[in-house]
Amino acid sequence: RKEVEQDPGPFNVPEGATVAFNCTYSNSASQSFFWYRQDCRKEPKLLMSVYSSGNEDGRFTAQLNRASQYISLLIRDSKLSDSATYLCVVNGRGTALIFGKGTTLSVSS
Amino acid sequence: DGGITQSPKYLFRKEGQNVTLSCEQNLNHDAMYWYRQDPGQGLRLIYYSQIVNDFQKGDIAEGYSVSREKKESFPLTVTSAQKNPTAFYLCASSPGDRGRYNSPLHFGNGTRLTVT
């Protein structure tokens, strides 16, 4: 299994739709989990950290399933401005963070 | 405002030349990182530094070198030994790894290097 694996998509959804992304990770000892957003030709920006109990930030909900070693991101009521690539990030062995290749979301009107 | 500054935004070099990418942060972060991103690929770690005067190789360090003489600065040199240097280079920083948990990374705007 790759260290961090994501479905690359693209996910094409209409405005207002609910969309969910999953990300699997291989290191069962991982303790830190994040979702980043990256717009085309820009740097990644932190969207949200993922906590064991799950957490919500407005229309975004992140969840962690340690038993199955995956994290998820749910976006409700999609907006055009949500179109971007979403990167799953997990700490690997040692101190560095490992990035998935990203899932591309395209929201259309 | 605090942040990370990478310069230049676009850089063009001839094959065989070494080139140094600048990264400066005023966030007072201990840890700094260099990642490389290729089209359709995830970020791959080149080098990272947890403290001044110390740095470690990441997954793809061959053909690159770094220095960390000051807390604020972590320049990356792309040497002529790097076989495919054309890429988007991202510098990042974080408060550091204290305890078991990693802090999220703050990224600079990136430098697009094209080598012909």
Task: Decide if B48 touches A, using CB distance below 8 A.
Answer: yes
pLDDT above 60 for B31: yes
Of the candidates B106, B64, B96, the residue with the CA atom closest to the CA atom of residue A43: B106
Q: Please report the pLDDT score of residue B98 as a whole number.
A: 52
> Once rounded to an integer, what is the mean pLDDT over residues B53-64?
94
Per-residue pLDDT tens digits for B85-94: 999 999 999 8
Weakest-pLDDT range from A77-81, B11-15, B92-96: B92-96
pLDDT > 80? residue A74: yes
- Tokens standing for A58? 């407005």
How large a percentage of chain B has pLDDT more than 70? 94
For the beta carbon of residue B114, count every other beta carbon within 10 angstroms. Answer: 11
Taking the CB of residue A51, how many other CB atoms lie within 10 A of it?
11
Q: What is the pLDDT of residues A5-36, one digit of tens each?
A: 998 889 999 999 999 999 999 988 888 899 99
Tell whether the model's pLDDT for residue B101 goes beyond 60. Answer: no
Contact A101 B45 (CB under 8 A): no
Minimum-distance CB partner of B90 among A8, A43, A97: A43
CA separation for the pair A107, B32 (Å, rounded): 34
pLDDT, greater one: B98 or A86 = A86
Q: B74: closest CA among B11, B116, B27, B112?
A: B27
Q: Are A97 and B107 inside 8 Å of each other by CB?
A: no
Kindly tell me the sign of the dihedral angle through the C-alpha atoms of B77, B78, B81, B82. positive
Distance from CA of B13 to the nearest CA of A (A): 20
Task: Find the CB nearest A97 among B105, B110, B112.
Answer: B105
The DSSP element (H or E) to which A15 belongs, if any, is none
Model confidence band, residue B97 (pLDDT cutoffs 50, 70, 90) = low
Which position has the token pair 């999609």? Answer: A78
- Per-residue pLDDT at B80 exceeds 60: yes
Q: How many Cα neighbours within 13 Å face the side chain of A87?
A: 25
> How many angstroms separate the Cα of B61 from the Cα of each of A74, A107, B78?
35, 37, 10
* Bond before B104 cis per omega within 30 degrees: no
pLDDT at B99 exceeding the cut of 50: no
pLDDT score, position A93: 64
Q: Are B59 and B49 in contact (CB under 8 A)?
A: no
Split at pLDDT 50, 70, 90, the class of B40 is confident
Question: What pLDDT, on a 0 to 100 scale, did the predictor assign at position B100?
Answer: 44
B57's CB contacts (< 8 A; 6+ apart) are B47
Which of B50, B51, B115, B116 is closest to B89 using CA atoms? B115
What sign results for the dihedral spanned by CA atoms A61, A30, B74, B42?
Answer: negative
C-alpha torsion angle, residues A73, A36, A106, B88 (rounded to 10): -150
- Tell me what pLDDT residue B32 has: 93
